[in-house]
């Protein structure tokens, strides 16, 4: 179901590894993995980590993503202290969690909290592909459900930035049940009449795409992001077929009616803001003041 | 009924005894010498061994058993359990998916709406049923049935038996992920009692898509798994990325009925008859019937608002984690 | 939208015209239009007007259809006295109505009433293709809406036997609005939790198929019935294309997920009875006694 | 804005005057002789004639006008009427239909959900937009928008401009009839205000599918017709089954805004500017805006239960018949 063999766009914390070519100061230059252009670090940052020559969207760290979407200083993380356990006693899981934690610099593959976007209060969640491929175990599922329930209870829109290789294998069916749990929570948010936006980044696959990610009332994807139940590489390996180019991309899903918009990163915050302005106008003001 | 023509590896000792019995019976017939005493002894030995083997099955044994080609499939159970069944077809959108069957059935006068994945037994039917892997139109047909159940206030009964949802390109193009997510979401708010039973392979999101139920039962030797253990072994370095170590992954994934019950992910294990469902389909069906006859009235006694709230709370509580002291 | 050029299966009252071959007593023999077999009248009637050799389903008159579905003597027509007018002052319409009335022996192309099917009280409606091609004008729309509303109000299932070339051209947009009116009434019936079965007979096309007929909770079609928005002949003429054989049939619609069941006429009453027994059991007993 | 490059038959006298004016202006430029007095006279003549012609259009003239390729289309109106518009795509089932556009828009601070058929102006866009004939996925996208409007309690605004729904084989295969019926049924129970306006060709079931509204407006020269009059003439012996007698069928079908208002099938006729919408798209848009600004608050003032009941009653009452005394 997942595309776990797909090489992670980054080996570490969901940022591209710094270019390490001879003569180029480490960390100052990055090579675009798509067009091979050498990109100056500052320039890349100014471009929201989009390649200026081919528009490849580099992965963002959680902090970068929040900075890009939320108003400055307006994000307050919730439930940062939730930690995964090993419900099945799965071999190696503890090690892998420790490694993921060290690499990503966060407790799990998903962070959420209260935020404001252009002044509109929202609940904002961000997945981190760098933590065990953004896979959804109990903690991710719990945080996603809490984010959605918080939106329903406080009368706030929920914006979730998705990135995942799928369900977390090491938690077995406990992991898979997070699909049901988050899907049910989506319904609660919708029943409360609150806007629910999902933002699909590269890659959004498996059990995440087949649950809360595809239940967005409005679904936005970043250009060229890999999106699908089973990634094309896994399909090609398992079925010994060659897929036509361009399948399982954001643009493919747009053409097949599965996402509303493919939006360049530079227009992402603007698009979300416009939707929030139009679909959560009075509610923002009427929401009870908490914290 | 269905003959037990195929033997699984762990059934080898049983197969040997069966073969001895067969030869003795043949001998009796052809030579006219009565070997019934010996046959009786062998039968007793067979039965004792059967009990012993089937009470010590590994997770991998159960994986093989859950996929046993002679194991009853959804339409077999439907025929055996219900007095009447009108199969309905189509998602009103694109097509009719033979990997997902659906219809209206009567359980001793109690009307239920039935959905479930359907595998095929022979080569032709396997292809026709897509090996029990439903496509978007299958899940959308199931969703249409959910509406019927809700509208008429009758329980929905879901039979789960699928290796996984279909993930190939045509299914992707029509939104298999959306179909799975939507089906789960729909069940989570359905204003009707929902009963599900994992009868064979409960595989992946394709299984859980129709498994968000008030009461989830599992047959004793069924499995409920995040993915096929061979696949898990093939992609995790834990198992050396070696698909042939599926037996280890099966153990690690805790995919048996007993483990799923222990983990709180299913509500009940329905014992199978002596030697597994494929040895006595009718008795298996009787046990499912008994389970339904017990559980449906319990669920129907709960006011629907409470029922939906209870269902939400049940799935909401699934997951294990801890909170670090800050 | 309609397939009006399609020759009506019968010229007259939706029954096959009696065979008029030399030497064969008029009315005793019928020729199967599909396999050309000569069928003896009595035999044909015993077979519910299905050709014994090729299973071609002959059209039924309203009376025959009611006799086939409802318990004997258990049909009481309602609103038989509703008559069409000429809202647009359309040329020829009055003449056509008069001819349709004379040919079909009924006031309009649709008859409905209270009925019992295997003892279960239902509202039963039957369209007559022989009356101006079963087209839906104001009277048909009104009667369909009343039938559906009656089911909702009295707590009874509604069974509608459909046959139509589409909307009634001579009533223009007044006719087309019957689509909206009947579709809305279907929702009322469903909201009341009452079973709604539509039975599609040859042909069910145009505005009828695109409104109340395709909104059946359970849709049953007779074998080989022509079903579609635009009939294949019109499509072929207008688009100068050749369609593959078998499009726009009951079996085609079954394969494409649009109908639940294709049922041979000899099993039709039985199937409807089984569905009524299962999906309207307590309600039948609990329904208020009226009339 | 859009240039009036194409002339309809009944505009011939206007075209002639325009041509005279153009030549006189050219003469002025090339010869330096002032003919402005004559031009002024011709302009007055033109305007008077225009008023005369456009207040005496036949049903057939209006049919041609409603299909005028320079007439503004849905996306033109959306751009001119709303302060902001985020177009949304896809039916979450099969595809995205360019013949049906949809999205969230802001009307001077008032959020609305917008749906509408979209025709194409040049050959390429016409093909892309399928001439404004929506497929099942178009109507299903529209239904998804209905859910959004209901969930957020904002009005739905529907722009109707289509020759008909697509009836070709691929549309049939995916259930175009079901899509039309479902869209009407959905609108009939939608718990949000629904405003619709027929801006050009309101053709057949494909139009009414998104026309079940609390308030249905029509532009002055739009048509709302059971089918294209040529098609009607071609199939009815009333017109000798002669498609070229569409002008007669147009008259008989009473497809003009004025006749639809008289028949009680639409609620309001919005006057077009001098010479038709294509001569002044911006002014046309202003008039639609004014209509929306008046009607939306009226509809929003009605409690939603009453609104849905009122909508049902409105369409329920459509149709004319009599009862024979028995
Ligand atoms: Zn690049
Ligand atoms: Zn025949």
Q: Which range, of B198-202, C235-239, D103-107, averages the lowest pLDDT? A: C235-239
Ligand 2 center from residue C256 Cα (angstroms): 26
| Chain C residues close to B93, C-beta within 8 Å | 257
Q: How many CB pairs under 8 A join B and D?
A: 26
Task: Tell me which chains share at least 3 CB pairs under 8 Å with chain C.
Answer: B, D
Contacts of B257 (CB under 8 A, 6+ apart): B62, B198, B218, B219, B220, B221, B222, B223, B224, B266, B269
Per the prediction, chain B carries an average pLDDT of: 94
| Chain D residues close to B94, C-beta within 8 Å | 93-94, 173-175
Minimal C-alpha gap between B93 and chain D (Å): 5
CA distances from D272 to A99, D56, D81, D83, D282 (A): 69, 14, 15, 22, 11
C290 has pLDDT over 80: no
- Of the candidates C97, C159, C183, the one whose C-alpha atom is nearest the C-alpha of residue C132 is C97
Rounded CA-CA distance A166/A127 in Å is: 12
Q: What pLDDT score was predicted for residue D35?
A: 82
Q: Coil, strand, or helix at residue B208?
A: helix
C279 has pLDDT over 90: yes
A201 has pLDDT over 50: yes
Q: What mean pLDDT do residues A146-172 have?
A: 97
Q: What pLDDT score was predicted for residue C9?
A: 39
Q: For chain D, percent helix, then strand, then coil, each to nearest 5?
A: 50, 15, 30
Ligand 1 center from residue A50 Cα (angstroms): 8
Ligand nearest to the CA of C57: 2
Ligand nearest to the CA of C32: 2
Per the prediction, chain C carries an average pLDDT of: 89
Minimal C-alpha gap between C82 and chain B (Å): 32
Q: What pLDDT score was predicted for residue A289?
A: 43
CB contact at 8 A, D96 and A255: yes
- Of the candidates D299, D223, D206, the one whose C-alpha atom is nearest the C-alpha of residue D68 is D223
| Chain B residues close to D186, C-beta within 8 Å | none
Own/partner pairs for B6-12, CB < 8 Å, 24+ apart? Answer: B6/B68, B6/B69, B6/B70, B8/B61, B8/B64, B8/B65, B8/B68, B9/B61, B9/B64, B10/B53, B10/B57, B10/B58, B10/B61, B10/B64, B11/B53
Angle between the N-to-C axes of helices A172-191 and B176-188, in degrees from 0 to 180, rounded to the nearest 10? 70
| Chain D residues close to B89, C-beta within 8 Å | none
C289 has pLDDT over 80: no
Find residue A264's DSSP bridge partners: none
Per-residue model confidence as pLDDT tens digits over B47-57: 999 888 998 89
Chain B: residue whose CA lies nearest to C194: B152
C261·B84 Cβ contact <8 A = no
Q: What pLDDT score was predicted for residue A231?
A: 85
Residue that the structure tokens 């050219």 belong to: D26
Q: How many CB pairs under 8 A join A and B?
A: 188
Give the one of D176, D226, D263 whose C-beta lies nearest to C167's C-beta: D226
Domains in chain C, CATH or no CATH each? 1-56 (no CATH), 59-285 (3.90.226.10)
Q: Which range, of C149-153, D36-40, D269-273, averages the lowest pLDDT? A: D36-40
Chain A: residue whose CA lies nearest to D147: A217
A81·B325 Cβ contact <8 A = yes
Q: What mean pLDDT do residues B285-296 have?
A: 98
Ligand nearest to the CA of C224: 2
Query: What is the pTM assigned to this prediction?
Result: 0.93
Tell me if there are at least 3 CB pairs under 8 Å linking chains A and C.
Answer: no
Rounded CA-CA distance C166/D207 in Å is: 16
B160 has pLDDT over 70: yes
Percent of chain D with pLDDT over 90: 84
Contacts of A191 (CB under 8 A, 6+ apart): A152, B189
Per-residue model confidence as pLDDT tens digits over B220-238: 999 999 999 999 999 999 9
**Helix and strand element counts for chain C (H, E):** 10, 11
Minimal C-alpha gap between C260 and chain D (Å): 13
Chain D: residue whose CA lies nearest to A215: D92
Residue that the structure tokens 């009235």 belong to: B297
B35 has pLDDT over 70: yes
Structure tokens at A284: 């923002």
Per-residue model confidence as pLDDT tens digits over C89-101: 999 999 999 999 9
C257·D252 Cβ contact <8 A = no
- Of the candidates D39, D65, D41, D40, the one whose C-alpha atom is nearest the C-alpha of residue D54 is D65
Test mutation, C172, C209, C240, C251, chain D, max D CBs within 10 A: C172
Q: Which range, of A62-66, D42-46, D180-184, averages the lowest pLDDT? A: D42-46
**Helix and strand element counts for chain B (H, E):** 14, 9
Q: Coil, strand, or helix at residue D35?
A: coil
Structure tokens at A5: 């063999």
- CA A124, A129, A131, A135 dihedral sign is positive
Structure tokens at D92: 């979450």
| Chain D residues close to A195, C-beta within 8 Å | 152
Strands A120-127 and A110-117: antiparallel
D11 has pLDDT over 50: yes
Minimal C-alpha gap between C23 and chain B (Å): 47
Per-residue model confidence as pLDDT tens digits over D272-313: 998 899 999 999 999 999 999 999 999 999 999 999 999 999
Task: Tell me which chains share at least 3 CB pairs under 8 Å with chain A.
Answer: B, D
Per-residue model confidence as pLDDT tens digits over D173-200: 999 999 999 999 999 999 999 999 999 9
| Chain B residues close to A187, C-beta within 8 Å | 185, 188-189
ipTM comes to: 0.93
Task: Tell me which chains share at least 3 CB pairs under 8 Å with chain B.
Answer: A, C, D
Ligand 1 center from residue A53 Cα (angstroms): 5
Tell me if there are at least 3 CB pairs under 8 Å linking chains D and B.
Answer: yes
B93·D94 Cβ contact <8 A = yes
Q: Coil, strand, or helix at residue C187?
A: helix
3-state secondary structure chain A: CCCCCCCCCCCCCCCCCCCCCCCCCCCCEEECCCCCCEEEHHHHHHCCCECCCCCCECCCCHHHHHHHHCCCCCCEEECCCEEECCCCCCCCHHHHHHHHHHHHCCCCCEEEEEEEECCEEEEEEEECCCCHHHCECHHHHHHHHHHHHHHHHHCCCEEEEEEECCECHHHHHHHHHHHHHHHHHHHHHHHCCCCEEEEEEEEEEHHHHCCHHHHCCEEEECCCCEEECCCHHHHHHHHCCCCCCCCCEHHHHHHCCCCCEECCHHHHHHHHHHHHHHHCHHHHHHCCCCC
Q: Which range, of A2-6, C39-43, D163-167, averages the lowest pLDDT? A: A2-6
Rounded CA-CA distance B116/B138 in Å is: 9
Ligand 1 center from residue A54 Cα (angstroms): 4
C217·B151 Cβ contact <8 A = yes
Ligand 2 center from residue C225 Cα (angstroms): 14
Q: What pLDDT score was predicted for residue A113?
A: 98
C250 has pLDDT over 70: yes
| Chain B residues close to D175, C-beta within 8 Å | 92-94
Per-residue burial over C180-218, b if 16 or more Cβ lie within 10 Å, else e, is bbbbbbbbbbbebebbbbbbbbbbbbbbbbbbbbbbbbb
D93·B92 Cβ contact <8 A = no
C254·B96 Cβ contact <8 A = yes
Rounded CA-CA distance D271/B270 in Å is: 72
B94·D92 Cβ contact <8 A = no
């Amino acid at each position: 179901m997942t595309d776990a063999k797909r090489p992670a766009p980054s080996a570490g914390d969901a940022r591209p590894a710094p270019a390490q070519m001879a003569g180029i100061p480490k960390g100052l230059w990055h090579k675009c993995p798509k067009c091979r252009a050498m990109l100056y670090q500052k320039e890349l940052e100014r471009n929201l980590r989009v390649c200026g020559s081919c528009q490849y969207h580099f992965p963002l760290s959680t902090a970068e993503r929040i900075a890009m979407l939320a108003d400055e200083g307006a994000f307050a993380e919730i439930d940062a202290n939730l930690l995964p356990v090993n419900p099945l006693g799965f071999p190696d899981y503890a090690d892998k969690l420790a490694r993921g934690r060290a690499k990503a610099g966060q407790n799990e593959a998903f962070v959420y909290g209260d935020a404001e976007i252009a002044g509109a209060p929202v609940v904002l969640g961000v997945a981190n592909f760098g933590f065990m491929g953004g896979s959804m175990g109990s903690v991710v599922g719990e945080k996603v459900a809490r984010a959605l329930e918080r939106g329903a209870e406080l009368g706030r829109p929920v914006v979730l930035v998705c990135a995942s290789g799928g369900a977390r294998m090491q938690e077995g069916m406990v992991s898979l049940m997070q699909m049901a749990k988050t899907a049910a929570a989506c319904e609660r948010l919708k029943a409360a009449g609150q806007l629910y936006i999902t933002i699909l980044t590269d890659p959004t696959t498996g059990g995440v795409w087949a649950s809360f990610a595809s239940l967005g009332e409005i679904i936005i994807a970043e250009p060229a992001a890999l999106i699908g139940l089973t990634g094309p590489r896994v399909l090609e390996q398992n079925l010994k077929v060659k897929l036509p180019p361009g399948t399982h991309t954001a643009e493919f899903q747009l053409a097949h009616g599965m996402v509303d918009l493919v939006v360049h990163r530079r227009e992402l915050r603007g698009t979300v803001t416009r939707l929030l302005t139009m679909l959560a106008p009075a509610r923002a003001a009427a929401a009870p003041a908490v914290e | 009924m269905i003959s037990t023509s195929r033997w699984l590896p762990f059934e080898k000792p049983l197969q040997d005894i069966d073969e001895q019995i067969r030869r003795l019976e043949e001998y009796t017939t052809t030579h006219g010498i009565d070997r019934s005493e010996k046959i009786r002894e062998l039968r007793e030995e067979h039965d004792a061994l059967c009990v012993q083997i089937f009470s010590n099955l590994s997770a991998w044994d159960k994986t093989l058993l859950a996929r046993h080609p002679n194991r009853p499939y959804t339409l077999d159970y439907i025929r055996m359990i219900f007095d009447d069944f009108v199969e309905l077809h189509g998602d009103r959108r694109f097509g009719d998916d033979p990997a997902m069957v659906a219809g209206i059935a009567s359980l001793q006068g109690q009307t239920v709406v039935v959905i479930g994945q359907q595998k095929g037994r022979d080569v032709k039917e396997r292809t026709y049923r897509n090996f029990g892997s439903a496509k978007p139109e299958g899940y959308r047909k199931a969703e249409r049935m959910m509406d019927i159940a809700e509208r008429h206030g009758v329980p929905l009964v879901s039979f789960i038996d699928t290796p996984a949802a279909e993930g190939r390109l045509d299914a992707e193009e029509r939104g298999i992920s959306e179909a799975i997510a939507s089906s789960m979401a729909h069940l989570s708010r359905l204003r009707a009692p929902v009963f599900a039973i994992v009868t064979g392979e409960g595989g992946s999101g394709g299984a859980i898509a129709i498994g968000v139920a008030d009461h989830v039962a599992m047959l004793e030797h069924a499995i409920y798994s995040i993915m096929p253990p061979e696949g898990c072994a093939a992609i995790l370095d834990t198992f050396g990325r070696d698909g042939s170590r599926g037996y280890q992954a099966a153990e690690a994934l805790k995919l048996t009925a007993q483990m799923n019950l222990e983990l709180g992910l299913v509500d009940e294990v329905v014992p199978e008859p002596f030697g597994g469902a494929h040895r006595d389909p009718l008795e298996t069906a009787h046990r499912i019937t008994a389970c339904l006859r017990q559980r449906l009235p319990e669920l129907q006694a709960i006011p629907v608002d409470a029922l939906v709230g209870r269902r939400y709370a049940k799935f909401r509580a699934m997951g294990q984690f801890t909170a670090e002291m800050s």
